[in-house]
Amino acid sequence: MARPEFKTPVCVLGLGLIGGSLLRAAVASGRDAFGYNRSVEGAQAARFDGFDATTDLTEALTRAAALEALIVLAVPMPALPALLTHIGQTAPECPLTDVTSVKGAVLDEVTAAGLQTRFVGGHPMTGTAHSGWAAGDARLFVGAPWVISVDDHVDPTVWSTVLQLALDCGSVVVPARSDEHDAAAAAISHLPHLLAEALAVTAAEVPLAFALAAGSFRDGTRVAGSAPDLVRAMCQANADQLLPRVDRAIELLAEARESLANNDSVADLVESGHAARTRYDSFSRPEIVTVFVGAENWRRELAAAGRAGGVIRSALPRLDTPR
Protein backbone atom coordinates (compact mmCIF):
# COMPACT_ATOMS: atom_id res chain seq x y z
CA MET A 1 0.00 0.00 0.00
CA ALA A 2 2.96 2.39 0.44
CA ARG A 3 3.01 4.65 -2.58
CA PRO A 4 5.09 7.66 -1.56
CA GLU A 5 4.32 9.73 -4.65
CA PHE A 6 0.61 8.97 -4.69
CA LYS A 7 -1.69 11.36 -2.90
CA THR A 8 -5.03 9.91 -1.88
CA PRO A 9 -7.96 11.68 -3.57
CA VAL A 10 -10.21 13.62 -1.21
CA CYS A 11 -14.00 13.85 -1.10
CA VAL A 12 -15.17 16.70 1.16
CA LEU A 13 -18.77 16.46 2.41
CA GLY A 14 -19.94 19.94 3.39
CA LEU A 15 -18.41 23.07 1.86
CA GLY A 16 -18.73 25.58 4.68
CA LEU A 17 -15.82 27.50 6.16
CA ILE A 18 -13.76 24.44 7.14
CA GLY A 19 -14.86 22.04 4.38
CA GLY A 20 -14.58 24.75 1.74
CA SER A 21 -11.12 25.71 2.91
CA LEU A 22 -10.09 22.08 2.96
CA LEU A 23 -11.26 21.50 -0.63
CA ARG A 24 -9.22 24.52 -1.72
CA ALA A 25 -6.15 23.40 0.27
CA ALA A 26 -6.37 19.82 -1.03
CA VAL A 27 -6.48 21.01 -4.64
CA ALA A 28 -3.64 23.46 -3.96
CA SER A 29 -1.52 20.56 -2.70
CA GLY A 30 -1.97 18.76 -6.03
CA ARG A 31 -4.65 16.29 -5.04
CA ASP A 32 -7.65 15.06 -6.94
CA ALA A 33 -10.31 16.61 -4.69
CA PHE A 34 -14.05 17.15 -5.03
CA GLY A 35 -16.89 18.17 -2.81
CA TYR A 36 -20.54 17.76 -1.98
CA ASN A 37 -22.75 20.45 -0.52
CA ARG A 38 -26.41 20.12 0.44
CA SER A 39 -27.37 23.65 -0.63
CA VAL A 40 -27.31 24.61 -4.28
CA GLU A 41 -25.85 28.02 -3.41
CA GLY A 42 -22.75 26.57 -1.73
CA ALA A 43 -22.07 24.06 -4.51
CA GLN A 44 -22.61 26.70 -7.20
CA ALA A 45 -20.28 29.14 -5.45
CA ALA A 46 -17.58 26.46 -5.31
CA ARG A 47 -18.04 25.60 -8.99
CA PHE A 48 -17.98 29.29 -9.87
CA ASP A 49 -14.57 29.46 -8.17
CA GLY A 50 -13.38 26.57 -10.36
CA PHE A 51 -13.82 23.66 -7.93
CA ASP A 52 -15.46 20.31 -8.51
CA ALA A 53 -18.64 20.31 -6.40
CA THR A 54 -22.06 18.66 -6.55
CA THR A 55 -25.32 18.64 -4.63
CA ASP A 56 -25.79 14.95 -5.49
CA LEU A 57 -24.53 12.95 -2.52
CA THR A 58 -24.83 9.57 -4.27
CA GLU A 59 -22.76 10.85 -7.16
CA ALA A 60 -20.04 12.15 -4.83
CA LEU A 61 -19.92 8.94 -2.78
CA THR A 62 -19.97 6.65 -5.84
CA ARG A 63 -16.99 8.53 -7.19
CA ALA A 64 -15.24 8.40 -3.80
CA ALA A 65 -15.75 4.64 -3.68
CA ALA A 66 -14.32 4.19 -7.20
CA LEU A 67 -11.24 6.30 -6.37
CA GLU A 68 -10.80 4.90 -2.82
CA ALA A 69 -10.87 8.55 -1.79
CA LEU A 70 -10.47 9.82 1.75
CA ILE A 71 -13.95 11.05 2.75
CA VAL A 72 -13.96 14.10 5.02
CA LEU A 73 -17.07 14.75 7.13
CA ALA A 74 -17.37 18.55 7.27
CA VAL A 75 -21.04 18.95 8.16
CA PRO A 76 -22.60 20.07 11.46
CA MET A 77 -23.21 17.32 14.04
CA PRO A 78 -26.98 17.05 13.46
CA ALA A 79 -26.40 16.20 9.78
CA LEU A 80 -24.04 13.31 10.58
CA PRO A 81 -26.35 10.28 11.10
CA ALA A 82 -28.07 10.55 7.70
CA LEU A 83 -24.75 11.19 5.98
CA LEU A 84 -23.11 8.20 7.64
CA THR A 85 -25.97 5.92 6.64
CA HIS A 86 -25.48 7.01 3.05
CA ILE A 87 -21.72 6.41 3.25
CA GLY A 88 -22.31 2.96 4.71
CA GLN A 89 -24.48 2.09 1.70
CA THR A 90 -22.38 3.65 -1.07
CA ALA A 91 -18.74 3.97 0.06
CA PRO A 92 -18.22 1.73 3.09
CA GLU A 93 -14.59 0.91 2.28
CA CYS A 94 -13.33 4.46 1.94
CA PRO A 95 -11.01 5.85 4.60
CA LEU A 96 -12.99 8.36 6.65
CA THR A 97 -12.16 11.39 8.79
CA ASP A 98 -13.93 14.47 10.12
CA VAL A 99 -13.15 18.07 11.07
CA THR A 100 -15.61 18.50 13.96
CA SER A 101 -14.70 20.22 17.23
CA VAL A 102 -16.03 17.42 19.44
CA LYS A 103 -14.46 14.02 18.94
CA GLY A 104 -16.22 11.59 21.27
CA ALA A 105 -19.72 12.34 19.98
CA VAL A 106 -18.60 11.96 16.36
CA LEU A 107 -16.89 8.66 17.12
CA ASP A 108 -20.12 7.43 18.72
CA GLU A 109 -22.09 8.30 15.59
CA VAL A 110 -19.53 6.66 13.32
CA THR A 111 -19.52 3.55 15.48
CA ALA A 112 -23.32 3.44 15.48
CA ALA A 113 -23.14 3.48 11.66
CA GLY A 114 -20.65 0.58 11.71
CA LEU A 115 -17.91 2.63 10.01
CA GLN A 116 -15.35 2.89 12.81
CA THR A 117 -12.72 0.53 11.36
CA ARG A 118 -11.97 2.96 8.49
CA PHE A 119 -12.44 6.10 10.62
CA VAL A 120 -9.79 8.37 12.16
CA GLY A 121 -11.22 11.53 13.74
CA GLY A 122 -9.65 14.92 13.18
CA HIS A 123 -10.00 18.49 14.39
CA PRO A 124 -8.20 21.38 12.69
CA MET A 125 -8.11 24.03 15.44
CA THR A 126 -8.73 27.08 13.33
CA GLY A 127 -11.60 29.20 12.14
CA THR A 128 -12.77 32.74 11.64
CA ALA A 129 -15.81 34.70 12.75
CA HIS A 130 -17.33 34.05 9.31
CA SER A 131 -18.90 30.98 7.78
CA GLY A 132 -19.86 29.50 4.41
CA TRP A 133 -17.97 28.77 1.20
CA ALA A 134 -17.17 32.43 0.56
CA ALA A 135 -15.33 32.74 3.89
CA GLY A 136 -13.01 29.83 3.03
CA ASP A 137 -9.29 30.13 2.38
CA ALA A 138 -6.78 27.51 1.18
CA ARG A 139 -4.34 28.88 3.79
CA LEU A 140 -6.75 28.66 6.75
CA PHE A 141 -4.87 25.65 8.17
CA VAL A 142 -1.32 26.94 7.78
CA GLY A 143 0.45 26.78 11.14
CA ALA A 144 -2.71 25.71 13.00
CA PRO A 145 -2.76 22.62 15.22
CA TRP A 146 -4.75 19.74 13.69
CA VAL A 147 -5.65 17.05 16.17
CA ILE A 148 -5.74 13.51 14.78
CA SER A 149 -7.24 10.82 16.99
CA VAL A 150 -5.17 7.88 18.20
CA ASP A 151 -8.00 5.91 19.76
CA ASP A 152 -7.47 2.19 20.29
CA HIS A 153 -9.31 1.23 17.11
CA VAL A 154 -7.52 3.42 14.58
CA ASP A 155 -5.93 1.80 11.54
CA PRO A 156 -2.33 2.86 10.82
CA THR A 157 -2.87 3.19 7.07
CA VAL A 158 -5.91 5.42 7.44
CA TRP A 159 -4.09 7.34 10.16
CA SER A 160 -1.14 8.06 7.87
CA THR A 161 -3.54 9.10 5.09
CA VAL A 162 -5.22 11.65 7.35
CA LEU A 163 -1.84 12.82 8.66
CA GLN A 164 -0.65 13.50 5.12
CA LEU A 165 -3.74 15.55 4.32
CA ALA A 166 -3.26 17.70 7.44
CA LEU A 167 0.42 18.23 6.66
CA ASP A 168 -0.39 19.08 3.02
CA CYS A 169 -2.71 21.78 4.35
CA GLY A 170 0.18 23.30 6.31
CA SER A 171 -0.99 22.28 9.78
CA VAL A 172 1.07 20.94 12.65
CA VAL A 173 -0.47 17.71 13.88
CA VAL A 174 -1.21 16.91 17.52
CA PRO A 175 -1.99 13.22 18.13
CA ALA A 176 -4.57 12.74 20.89
CA ARG A 177 -7.21 10.33 22.14
CA SER A 178 -10.79 11.49 21.47
CA ASP A 179 -11.71 11.60 25.17
CA GLU A 180 -8.61 13.59 26.08
CA HIS A 181 -9.22 15.96 23.19
CA ASP A 182 -12.74 16.63 24.42
CA ALA A 183 -11.64 17.21 28.03
CA ALA A 184 -8.97 19.64 26.83
CA ALA A 185 -11.32 21.41 24.43
CA ALA A 186 -13.78 21.92 27.29
CA ALA A 187 -11.05 23.61 29.32
CA ILE A 188 -9.38 25.73 26.66
CA SER A 189 -12.27 26.55 24.34
CA HIS A 190 -15.75 25.85 25.69
CA LEU A 191 -15.18 27.10 29.26
CA PRO A 192 -13.52 30.32 27.98
CA HIS A 193 -16.64 30.97 25.92
CA LEU A 194 -18.93 30.62 28.94
CA LEU A 195 -16.65 32.82 31.06
CA ALA A 196 -16.63 35.48 28.34
CA GLU A 197 -20.43 35.42 28.13
CA ALA A 198 -20.74 35.68 31.94
CA LEU A 199 -18.30 38.61 32.00
CA ALA A 200 -20.16 40.45 29.25
CA VAL A 201 -23.51 40.03 31.03
CA THR A 202 -22.11 41.05 34.43
CA ALA A 203 -20.47 44.19 33.08
CA ALA A 204 -23.52 45.18 31.03
CA GLU A 205 -25.49 45.43 34.29
CA VAL A 206 -23.16 48.10 35.76
CA PRO A 207 -24.03 51.64 34.56
CA LEU A 208 -20.55 53.06 33.91
CA ALA A 209 -18.88 49.81 32.88
CA PHE A 210 -18.93 50.09 29.10
CA ALA A 211 -17.75 53.70 29.36
CA LEU A 212 -14.59 52.56 31.16
CA ALA A 213 -14.06 49.18 29.50
CA ALA A 214 -10.61 48.69 28.01
CA GLY A 215 -8.14 45.86 27.34
CA SER A 216 -9.05 43.47 30.17
CA PHE A 217 -12.72 43.57 29.27
CA ARG A 218 -12.18 43.47 25.50
CA ASP A 219 -9.85 40.46 25.68
CA GLY A 220 -12.00 38.74 28.28
CA THR A 221 -15.17 39.05 26.19
CA ARG A 222 -13.79 38.73 22.65
CA VAL A 223 -15.21 35.24 22.10
CA ALA A 224 -18.62 36.40 23.33
CA GLY A 225 -18.78 37.97 19.87
CA SER A 226 -18.91 34.49 18.29
CA ALA A 227 -22.19 33.42 16.71
CA PRO A 228 -24.41 32.16 19.56
CA ASP A 229 -25.58 29.11 17.58
CA LEU A 230 -22.01 27.89 17.08
CA VAL A 231 -21.10 28.46 20.73
CA ARG A 232 -24.21 26.63 21.90
CA ALA A 233 -23.60 23.73 19.53
CA MET A 234 -20.02 23.13 20.64
CA CYS A 235 -20.74 23.54 24.36
CA GLN A 236 -23.79 21.31 24.25
CA ALA A 237 -22.09 18.60 22.16
CA ASN A 238 -19.34 18.42 24.78
CA ALA A 239 -21.53 18.73 27.88
CA ASP A 240 -20.07 15.68 29.65
CA GLN A 241 -16.60 17.19 29.59
CA LEU A 242 -17.67 20.80 30.01
CA LEU A 243 -19.71 20.31 33.19
CA PRO A 244 -16.79 19.33 35.44
CA ARG A 245 -14.70 22.23 34.06
CA VAL A 246 -17.48 24.74 34.77
CA ASP A 247 -17.82 23.26 38.25
CA ARG A 248 -14.11 23.67 38.85
CA ALA A 249 -14.11 27.29 37.68
CA ILE A 250 -17.11 28.06 39.91
CA GLU A 251 -15.34 26.37 42.83
CA LEU A 252 -12.19 28.47 42.33
CA LEU A 253 -14.19 31.69 42.09
CA ALA A 254 -16.28 30.80 45.15
CA GLU A 255 -13.12 30.09 47.17
CA ALA A 256 -11.60 33.40 46.10
CA ARG A 257 -14.85 35.15 46.95
CA GLU A 258 -14.89 33.68 50.47
CA SER A 259 -11.24 34.51 50.99
CA LEU A 260 -11.82 38.09 49.82
CA ALA A 261 -14.86 38.48 52.07
CA ASN A 262 -13.33 36.90 55.16
CA ASN A 263 -9.60 37.53 54.89
CA ASP A 264 -9.49 40.46 52.47
CA SER A 265 -7.27 38.35 50.19
CA VAL A 266 -7.41 36.81 46.73
CA ALA A 267 -3.82 35.60 47.02
CA ASP A 268 -4.44 31.89 46.44
CA LEU A 269 -6.30 32.25 43.17
CA VAL A 270 -4.14 35.06 41.82
CA GLU A 271 -0.89 33.29 42.57
CA SER A 272 -1.98 29.90 41.22
CA GLY A 273 -3.50 31.55 38.14
CA HIS A 274 -0.33 33.46 37.41
CA ALA A 275 1.76 30.31 37.91
CA ALA A 276 -0.47 28.37 35.51
CA ARG A 277 -0.34 31.04 32.83
CA THR A 278 3.45 31.29 33.22
CA ARG A 279 3.70 27.52 32.78
CA TYR A 280 1.65 27.78 29.61
CA ASP A 281 3.92 30.53 28.25
CA SER A 282 6.93 28.27 28.63
CA PHE A 283 5.22 25.10 27.40
CA SER A 284 7.56 23.54 24.85
CA ARG A 285 6.47 22.04 21.53
CA PRO A 286 9.01 19.33 20.63
CA GLU A 287 8.70 17.71 17.23
CA ILE A 288 7.58 14.07 17.21
CA VAL A 289 9.86 12.13 14.84
CA THR A 290 10.66 8.77 16.39
CA VAL A 291 7.32 6.95 16.51
CA PHE A 292 6.75 4.34 13.80
CA VAL A 293 3.09 4.34 12.79
CA GLY A 294 1.87 0.75 13.07
CA ALA A 295 4.56 -0.37 15.50
CA GLU A 296 3.63 -1.92 18.83
CA ASN A 297 1.97 0.64 21.13
CA TRP A 298 2.22 3.33 18.44
CA ARG A 299 -1.15 4.82 19.38
CA ARG A 300 -0.28 5.01 23.07
CA GLU A 301 3.15 6.50 22.29
CA LEU A 302 1.63 9.17 20.08
CA ALA A 303 -1.02 10.03 22.69
CA ALA A 304 1.72 10.45 25.33
CA ALA A 305 3.86 12.55 23.00
CA GLY A 306 0.91 14.81 22.14
CA ARG A 307 0.02 15.22 25.80
CA ALA A 308 3.60 16.36 26.44
CA GLY A 309 3.23 19.08 23.81
CA GLY A 310 4.66 17.16 20.88
CA VAL A 311 3.67 18.02 17.33
CA ILE A 312 4.18 16.31 13.99
CA ARG A 313 5.56 18.54 11.23
CA SER A 314 6.41 15.96 8.58
CA ALA A 315 5.32 12.45 7.68
CA LEU A 316 6.19 9.79 10.27
CA PRO A 317 7.89 6.52 9.31
CA ARG A 318 5.52 3.59 8.75
CA LEU A 319 5.67 -0.06 9.62
CA ASP A 320 3.57 -1.54 6.86
CA THR A 321 2.95 -4.78 8.72
CA PRO A 322 1.24 -3.68 11.92
CA ARG A 323 2.11 -5.92 14.83
Amino acid identity of 275?
Answer: A
Q: Closest separation between CB of residue 41 and a copy of itself, Å?
A: 25
Shorter beta-carbon distance to a copy of itself: residue 84 or 235: 235
Q: Closest separation between CB of residue 281 and a copy of itself, Å?
A: 7
Shorter beta-carbon distance to a copy of itself: residue 225 or 322: 225
Shorter beta-carbon distance to a copy of itself: residue 88 or 127: 127
State CA 222 to chain mean position distance. Answer: 20
Shorter beta-carbon distance to a copy of itself: residue 230 or 315: 230
Q: Closest separation between CB of residue 256 and a copy of itself, Å?
A: 6
Shorter beta-carbon distance to a copy of itself: residue 273 or 317: 273
Q: For residues 310 and 283, is the Cβ–Cβ distance under 8 A?
A: no
Q: Beta strand pairing status for 70-73 and 96-98?
A: parallel
Q: Closest separation between CB of residue 226 and a copy of itself, Å?
A: 7
Shorter beta-carbon distance to a copy of itself: residue 49 or 197: 197
Q: Closest separation between CB of residue 262 and a copy of itself, Å?
A: 11
* Nearest Cα to Cα of residue 96 among 130, 55, 76, 68: 68
Q: Rounded to whole angstroms, how far apart are CA atoms 47 and 302? A: 39
Shorter beta-carbon distance to a copy of itself: residue 6 or 280: 280
Q: Closest separation between CB of residue 152 and a copy of itself, Å?
A: 17
Q: Closest separation between CB of residue 40 and a copy of itself, Å?
A: 30
Q: Closest separation between CB of residue 73 and a copy of itself, Å?
A: 20
Q: Closest separation between CB of residue 196 and a copy of itself, Å?
A: 7
Shorter beta-carbon distance to a copy of itself: residue 56 or 251: 251
Shorter beta-carbon distance to a copy of itself: residue 8 or 238: 238
Q: Rounded to whole angstroms, how far apart are CA atoms 75 and 320? A: 32
State CA 10 to chain mean position distance. Answer: 18
